[in-house]
Structure formats: C-alpha cells, structure tokens
Amino acid sequence: MFPCLILGSSYVRTEYLKTAVMDSDKLTLVGAENEIPQGPALARLLQGPHADLAFLDFAEPQEAAACALTIQHRLPGIALIAVGAPPLPEGYLDEAGIAASISYPVTAEELEAALEASLRLLRPGIEEKLILFLPAKAGSGCSTVLLHTAAALAGQFKKRVLVLETDLRSGVLSVMLNAEFSHGLAQVLAHVQDLDILTLNQAIHRAEGVDWLFATPERTTGLPEWSDYFQLIEKVRAYYDYILADLPEVVNLATQELTRRARLISIVTTPEVLPMRLAKQRCAELERWGAGAERTTILVNRWHQADLSPGDLAGHLARPIGQVFPNDYKSLRAAVLNGKPVPQGTEFTRAATALAAQLCGGKAPEAPRAGGLRGLLKF
C-alpha cells in the first residue's frame, strides 16, 4: 500500500477524503490536516512519516498552489493529487506540480485512475536493471533460456541477479532447479508494502549464485495488481544489478507494469511456423502495452541447421535476433534430472553466456567453437 497525506480545507472535506482513502486497498493514511498547512505546520508535516503521495484540497486554489510548490521544493519525490479544483487557467495545476486531479466528491474509479497516473508520472523512466523474458508460445523454452542467462550473469560476470517467476500458476523454474521452498513471489507481492531486506531474504531461494522468487501455485493469496509490481521493483532495485522476470505468454493488467518499465523484453520462440507467427503477435501486443520495437528483441531457441537462417528469421519478424540457442535436448534433459543448469562448455551455455554479455556490456569468455554453429552465436 502507498502511504499518503490528506491536506484538506475543512473538517468535513478532510473526513470525507479519509473515508475514500480507507476504502482503497492501495492506500494507507500517514497524516491529515483539516486546513491547508503553511509555515511551521507544513514543515512539521513534511518531517513526519514518509508519504508517496498527497491529496491536496483545491477549494482555495491560491493557498493550495502555494502549499504544492513548497512540498515540491521540500519533497520532490512526492506525487500531488488535486481534489475538487474549480475551473482554472490552462497550465495552472501543472505549474503547481500537480500530477493528477480528481473531483469532489470522488468515486473509487476516479481515485484509482488518479493514483495510477500520478505514480507513473512520478516514475516515468525505464528501469535499466529490468529485463523480461516472454514466450511466443507456451513450451518455447523461455524459462530454460532465462535460467541459463541468469546463471551466466551471476557466475561468469559476477552480477547480483534477482529472478521473478511471474507465471504464478505454471512456473517451472523451481522444478528445473529441484528447489525446496515455502515462500515465493506470490507471498512477497501480497505483503509488498511491508517488504524490506530481511523479509525479502526469507522469501528468496539462492541457487547458482542467483536469488530466485519462485512461483507458488498452491498459494492462497489474491491475484497481484500493477501496484504490487510497482512497489516491488522500487524496493528491490537497490540490491541487484539485474532483475530478470519470467513472464507467461500473455501480458495482463498486473505484469504490464513490468513491460512499461523494462529496458528490454526478449521474446523467446522456436523456429517452427506456429511459434514464429505467435512471436509476431506478441510483438504487436507489446506495442499496444507501450513497449515498442526499440525495446523488444527475439531469442531463437532449439535452432538447428535445417531451419531458416537467423537473418531470414529477423527479416520475417521485423525484429533483431538477440541470440540463437541450439537444439540440445540431451544436455537439457540431463540438467533437469540433475536439478542444475547445463554445464559450461556446451554450445547452449555459450549462447547463454553471449546473451549475458550483451545484457551487461561485458565480453563473453573466449572458447573454441565446434560443429555447425560455428560463428552463428556471434550474430
């Protein structure tokens, strides 16, 4: 939940706004005033508990605008929402630093929309640490590709890596690593407002040098919302060099927060006709969610020499091919049985290391290449 302040213009209006905040499942009240505070009163309020946003009553626009400017000067990271502003000159609210405006009395839908708009305006930028892996079609090997890329980032390049398994019903990463755990991503998201490094450490599973927040299909928590992922990224970003997320093939209203913030979204496909067609569909869907071609790339999995060349695949999909992973069923099957990634030295792990090098701007360790994939992984 997001901590907030209410700066009202009267007892009645403040109490009404308190009720609206308490009825919301995304807000918690940390301070309230029955009149627009000024001078020492405002200073004391701003020195109190941390708030992500403030509801500022605009019944008296001049007083409210002056208060808004002071808040923006003292606490530039707080989102301001104007309440009940009368018709004002164009740009008046923008000059006061107002992120969103709602009417008085306010509806639950309007409050939700203002909250989303103001927080996203406050955090508009791309999160450079966030990389998403999304399958063109279920069964394309997206989780396998992510697992080996995460292991390469941690092992070969010594990066601090967190993996989020957002396919909360059908995630397989814990099975692939033969992991035993009691808490995972669903539990973290359900209590994300109280998350700190201690509670995070209780939920993560450490393996292969990577911190994993696994899916927990038997969870009893509710479905996450965009605000849960918003808060999670804000709270964990300082602890990691990279945050990798394993998404199901369809972006939803919650995971779209991740697509909005991600530096790169890698669509994992195999070279067969059906998943290739679905890869084009995923690209179109991502564009509708606001993730354009400049932030998407294609990872081709289970490739062998009889398939179309990487150049032909890139032309067909109108997207760059970020990396090609060879068809190595035998090694991957043995790795799953052992609960470990494929050992170093195979063409598959070389591809994962090359992808990790691309992501972190490093140089993949030199290794002799053999077989028909010679030179292909440099594409």
The strand pairing partners of 163, in sequence order, are 212, 244
CATH 3.40.50.300 placement within the chain: 127-378
Q: What is the CATH number of domain 127-378?
A: 3.40.50.300
The strand pairing partners of 80, in sequence order, are 54, 98
Cα angle value 166/314/176 (rounded, 5°):
30
User: What integer pLDDT is reported at residue 377 of this predicted model?
Assistant: 35
CATH 3.40.50.2300 placement within the chain: 2-122
Mean pLDDT of 192-205: 89
Query: Is the pLDDT reported for residue 375 higher than 60?
Result: no
3-state secondary structure of 247: coil
Higher pLDDT, 278 or 368: 278
Give the range with max mean pLDDT: 109-113, 149-153, 300-304, 363-367.
Answer: 149-153
Mean pLDDT of 99-109: 90
What is the DSSP code string of 143-183? HHHHHHHHHHHHHTS---EEEEE--TTT--HHHHTT---S-
Residues 245-276: tens digit of each pLDDT:
999 998 998 999 999 999 999 999 999 889 99
User: What integer pLDDT is reported at residue 368 of this predicted model?
Assistant: 40
User: What integer pLDDT is reported at residue 219 of this predicted model?
Assistant: 62
Confidence of residue 367 (pLDDT cuts 50, 70, 90): very low
Mean pLDDT of 50-79: 90
Q: Is the peptide bond before 105 cis (omega within 30 degrees of 0)?
A: yes
**Cα separations in angstroms, 191 against 108, 224, 283:** 22, 10, 32
How far apart are alpha carbons 191 and 181 in whole angstroms? 18
Confidence of residue 61 (pLDDT cuts 50, 70, 90): very high
Cβ burial, residue 181 (10 Å; 0-12/13-18/19+): middle
The listed CATH number (3.40.50.2300, 3.40.980.10, 3.40.50.150, 3.40.50.300) that belongs to domain 2-122: 3.40.50.2300
What's the whole-model pTM score? 0.81
Who's near 217: CB < 8 A, 6+ residues apart?
168, 169, 170, 171
How far apart are alpha carbons 31 and 28 in whole angstroms? 9
Residue with tokens 């393996």: 207
Query: Is the pLDDT reported for residue 64 higher than 70?
Result: yes
User: What integer pLDDT is reported at residue 125 of this predicted model?
Assistant: 75
Residues 298-323: tens digit of each pLDDT:
999 999 888 888 888 888 888 889 99
Query: Is the pLDDT reported for residue 378 higher than 90?
Result: no
